[in-house]
Amino acid sequence: MARVRERDVAAFESIYDGYHRLVHGIALKMLQDAMAAEDLTQAVFLKVWSSPEAFDSGNFGAWIARVTRNRSLDMLRSRALRVESDISADIPLEGSLDDMVFATLDAESVRTALASLPDDQRKPIELGFFGGVTHEEIARRTATPLGTVKTRIRAGLRKLRLQLETSVVG
Amino acid sequence: MNRHDDAFSESIAVFALGALPESEASAVAAHVRTCAECRAEYDDLRGVADLVGYQAESSRSELDELAAARMKLRIMRVVRADAEAPAPAGIPTVERVAASKRPWFAYGLAAAAVLVAAFVSVDDVGLRSHDASQTQNVATANDRAAQLAAASAAAETQRRSLERELALVVAPGSKHFAVPRGEVIESNGRLVIALTGVAAPPNGKTYQAWTLARGAKSVAPSITFAPDASGRAVVELPESAAGIAAVAVSVEPAGGSKAPTSKADFVRALT
Ligand SMILES: [Zn+2]
C-alpha cells in the first residue's frame, strides 16, 4: 500500500488481483445484483487508488472487506433500519500481532472456521455482517431474545478468533 | 481512562460487528475510546468481525474469467489514465476535486480525476475533509491550471479526447462487448474500442476499425489508430452507434484502406 500512495500502478494492480474476488463477492452477496456488484467493486478500488491514506495499518483484507460491506450498505440504505457502521470505523484498530498474522488467512480458512461455529452463533454474525441489520432485527428474525443474540454474537466472534488463531498456527 | 461499566460489555461484540443501531453505537463508541477493558475486547473482536466478509469471496463460477477481465480492464484504464496525468504530488485526486468549488475545467483537472470523483463519494471513511489542507489544495490546483494553460494545443486536444473516451467507457448504461485483449463499448450512442497489450503496427502499417451497418453486405472503413507506448488503444469511432451491427479491426497500409486488405484481428457483433 505504501507504493500505491506513491501512485504506483503496478502495486495497485497486484492489490487489485489479490482482493477483487473478495470485494466482488461481498458486494454480490449483499446487493444480489451482478451489475451493481461490478460497479461497487470499481468504486471500492478507485477509492483505494485515490485515497490510499484511508488505510493506515493492520490487515488490508479485513479493512477492504469492511469498506466494501459499508459501501454496499450505503447502496441498500433505503431500508427502514439503518445500521451505524461509520462510528466503529472511526475507531482505529490497535495493530495487534494477531491481526497481522490474520493477514495470511485465505477465504477457505475463514469459511472453515465459520462452519465450525454452532448455527445459533454463526447465523446472527452473518446476518449482522452481510445483512446489515441491527441486533434487534436479528433477534426478531431468529425469534430469539435480544440479550441472547448479543451473547451469541460475542461468543461466536470469540470462538471464531480462537479457530482462526489455531488455523494460522497450523 | 474512565471507569469500566459492565452495561457496555455485552454490546462491544455487536458494535464491532457493525450491528448496533445508531442510537446505541455512539454511546458504546465513546465508552470504548476511554475504557481500556472494553477497548481490548473491541480490538480483539473487530478484526475477526471484518474477516467474516472473506466467506463471500467470489468463486470462478460467480465471477468468470471474462467478466473478471472486463472489470479489471475498466478499473485499470481509469487508474492508468489518472497515474499518467501530471498530478501535483501528495494530493489525492479526490481531494483536489472535492476542494474545487469552481467548474472542474477551471483547474484543468485530468479527465480521470473527474471520473474518479464521480465514483468515489467524498463522505467515505477516511475522507473527512481537512479545512486547512483544502485551502492549500486550491492554491496547488491554481498552479496546475497555470501549467496546463501553457501546455501545447496538441496535448490539450489529446486530453479532451481521452477524457471523452473514458467518460463513454465508464458511463452508466454502457454496453460492453468482449473482444480479444479488450472490448467494444457502446455508450450514449457512441462506439469505443478499448484494447490492451496491442503490438505496434509494422512499419508503414496502421490499425483500422471497420463498421458493418445492419443489413449491409460489406464493412465500411472507420478510424485508423495505433496503440500508445504501453500497448493500449482507446479510440472512439466517428460513426454513430445507431444501426451498426458489428465492429472489426484489421492491419492496413498507413493512411487506411477503403476495403480490408488483411484478415481481421477481430469481428465483433454488437449483440
Ligand atoms: Zn468498559
Domains and CATH numbers, chain B: 6-132 (no CATH), 175-269 (2.60.40)
In this structure, are A77 and A8 located in the same domain?
yes
Sheet holding B244-253, edge to edge: B220-225, B205-213, B244-253, B266-269
**B-chain residues within 8 Å CB-CB of A86?**
125
Residue A12 lies in a domain: yes
Task: Name the residue in chain A with its Cα closest to that of B15.
Answer: A88
Residue A147 lies in a domain: yes
**In this predicted structure, what is the pLDDT of residue B83?**
86
In this structure, are A119 and A159 located in the same domain?
yes
CATH number assigned to the domain comprising residue A136: 1.10.10.10
In this structure, are A65 and A123 located in the same domain?
no
Residues across chain B: 271
More confident residue, A88 or A159: A159
What is the ipTM, given to two decimal places? Answer: 0.88
**B-chain residues within 8 Å CB-CB of A96?**
43-44, 47
Q: List CB contacts of B160: < 8 A, sequence separation 6 or more.
A: B111
Domain boundary among the residues A36, A60, A83 is at: A83
In this structure, are A73 and A103 located in the same domain?
no
State the distance from the centre of ligand 1 to the C-alpha of B172, rounded, in angstroms: 47
When CB atoms are compared, the residue of A41, A93, A135 closest to B46 is: A93
Domain boundary among the residues A34, A59, A83 is at: A83
**A-chain residues within 8 Å CB-CB of B229?**
none
**In this predicted structure, what is the pLDDT of residue A122?**
96
Sequence letter at residue A34: A
**B-chain residues within 8 Å CB-CB of A62?**
47, 50-51, 53
Residue A88 lies in a domain: no
Residue A17 domain boundaries: 2-83
B154-164 pLDDT, tens per residue? 454 555 566 56
Number of compact structural domains in chain A: 2
State the distance from the centre of ligand 1 to the C-alpha of A57, rounded, in angstroms: 24
State the distance from the centre of ligand 1 to the C-alpha of A68, rounded, in angstroms: 29
Integer Cα distance of B19 and B14 in angstroms? 5
**In this predicted structure, what is the pLDDT of residue A7?**
84
How far from chain centre, in Å, is Cα A11? 22
Question: Which letter, b or e, does each residue of A57-82 get, where b requires 16 or more Cβ atoms within 10 Å of its Cβ?
Answer: ebbebbbbbbbbbbbbbbbbeeeeeb
Q: Is the pTM of this model over 0.80?
A: no
CATH number assigned to the domain comprising residue A65: 1.10.1740.10
Task: Name the residue in chain B with its Cα closest to that of A57.
Answer: B47
